[in-house]
Amino acid sequence: MSMVVWKVVEILVEGLLLEGIMMVKLLLMNMLVILQHQMEWIILLLQVVEKRGMGMRQRYETQMNMEAWLGSMKMKNMKMVIE
C-alpha cells in the first residue's frame, strides 16, 4: 500500500513540477514580450531625440551662417557709410 501511495505522490510531484516549469516558461515568455515592447519604445524615443538634436544642430548652423552673412553685410554697409 505504501508503494502505491509513494507512486501517486511521485506522479503528483512530477505533474506539479512540469506545471511549475510551464508556468515559469510562460512568465519568462511574457517578460520577453514586455521587454521587446519596452525596447521598441526606447528605440523610438532615441530616434525622436536624435532627430530633434539634428534639427537643433541644423537650425544652429543656419543661424550661425545667417549671422556670418549679416555680419559681412553690416561690415560692407559700415565701410560704405565711412567712405
pTM: 0.42
CA dihedral (37, 40, 46, 47) in degrees, to 10, reads -150
**What is the sign, positive or negative, of the torsion defined by CA atoms of 70, 71, 75, 81?**
positive
Tens digits of residue pLDDT in 32-79: 888 888 888 888 888 888 877 776 666 666 666 766 666 666 666 655
| DSSP, residue by residue, 1-28 | -HHHHHHHHHHHHHHHHHHHHHHHHHHH
